[in-house]
A and B are shown apart, each in its own frame.
Chain A
Amino acid sequence: MRQTAARLNRTWLTVLGLVLVVAGAAGLLLATGAAGPLLQRTGVGWTPPDTGRRLFGDATATAFGLTWVVVVTALVGLVLALLGIAWLLAQIPRKHEAKPFRLHDEAGTGLTRLDPGVLADAVETQAKTLPGVTGAAAVIRGSAAAPELTLRLTVDDRTSVPDVLGLVHREVAGSLATSLDTRLRRLAVQVEVGRAHLDTSQVSVPVGGTTR
């Protein structure tokens, strides 16, 4: 029901994966000495470095002794750290609830605003009164003219799911639409089933007759 950064995750995992695969494959070909014969066969006019060559020469050590190189390195590190933190923060699931509905927006005659959280609370309360429903969580998105209701319902394992959905559609969504005086743009319901439990409708009848 809460929204996650699926597209962001998949895009960056794919990009980083591609970079690592290309870099790893190229490095492996160079390190094992397989790059030379391969490049000769394909006719590319570039001779790869010998496998006996040092990974980093004196030029690298000299470069990292220069102050401006150190500053650039630290800045690159800072950018990496900020990107990493931003990506980590994007993993927190978000409700993306609507901003307060503007029911009347004429500044001259007065502004009327409605917090969708209040409507969501009312929807949850009403949904919990439906037979078989043990829990409900609602989020209202969109606008006052085109509201979208997303509802997570937890039902008892003996409840008829179609009956509950019928009641949600008719009564809960109907009440919300009536209160906003508009059709819902979208009604989305996620059904969950609570853990089975022994309740008062089950009794044990011991052999011999008496009921406990």
Chain B
Amino acid sequence: MSSTRPRRLRRRPSRTVPASIVAAVITALGVLTVIAGISRLVTGTWPSQVSTPAGSVAGQTLGSTLAVVATAVALVVGVVLLVAGVKPGGFRSAQLSGPEGEPAEQTDYVITNTAIARLAAAEADRVDGVDKVGASVAGRHVRLRVTTTSEQADEIRGRVVRQVTDTLSAAGLDPAPRVSATVTTKDI
């Protein structure tokens, strides 16, 4: 057996959105610099789109409002990028227990948070008295929002939580998530 660590299916966010934004900004800066440089080499003068703002920036002092704002913005953007890079972020799927052994040396079973929410909502929808249901998953917590026309909100909440917990445990979620429900009685 190889000693290399397998890449797990259960992963943390890959920070595609901030990385794409920063990459697009870097690309745009690079392209504009190349265009301005080539224009300067061909015509002998910097394009006015570069020379005008550069002139006004050069006229500013170190203590000017522009310098203070620019450095503060750089600091804030830096903190945002640092947090995006360092903060692990929540998992978007949960581990499932499943069959092991032949014919596979290693097994890795996961279920996405969206799938957990759909399983939970579908199971809650089967409970008698439930009119409408919505579900969301954050970490190991499943939250259900149930609407009913019944006056027995507490009883329905108990049945929904019990049935959804049983279903998710039976699905093999390891560890089983905590299920909570808020029940709203709809006025007739």
Q: Which residues of chain A have a CB within 8 Å of any CB of chain B?
A: 1, 3-6, 8-28, 30-33, 49-56, 60-61, 64, 67, 70-71, 73-74, 76-85, 87-88, 91, 146, 149-150, 157-158, 160-162, 165-166, 169-170, 173-174, 176-178, 183-196
Contacts and interface: CB of A to CB of B under 8 A. Distances in A.
A80 B29 contact: yes
B113 to A, nearest CB: 10
Contacts of A160: 170-171
Interface stretch (B65-73, B153-161, B179-187): B65-73
B138 interface: no
Contacts of A28: 68, 71-72, 75
For the complex, would chain B's binding face be called helix, strand, loop or mixed by DSSP majority? helix
Contact of A64 (B16, B46, B62): B46
Interface string B20-40: 101111111111111011101
Interface in B61-85: 61-64, 67-68, 70-85
Interface of B: 2, 6-7, 9, 11-16, 18-20, 22-34, 36-38, 40-41, 46, 57-64, 67-68, 70-86, 93, 96, 98-99, 102-112, 114-115, 118-119, 121-123, 125, 170-172
B76 to A, nearest CB: 8
Contacts of B64: 31, 55
B163 to A, nearest CB: 13
A9 B38 CA distance: 31
A9 B16 CA distance: 7
B16 A4 contact: yes
A14 B96 contact: no
A150 B30 contact: no
B75 A85 contact: no
Given A12-B19, A51-B63, A56-B58, A73 B33 contact: yes
Given A77-B31, A162-B172, A20 B41 contact: no
Nearest to B29: A80
For the complex, would chain A's binding face be called helix, strand, loop or mixed by DSSP majority? helix
A71 B41 CA distance: 8
Contacts of A76: 33
A32 B75 CA distance: 14
Contacts of B13: 6
B81 A20 contact: yes
Contact of B62 (A13, A49, A85): A49
Top 5 closest pairs, chain A to chain B, by CB: A77-B33, A74-B37, A51-B63, A20-B78, A81-B30
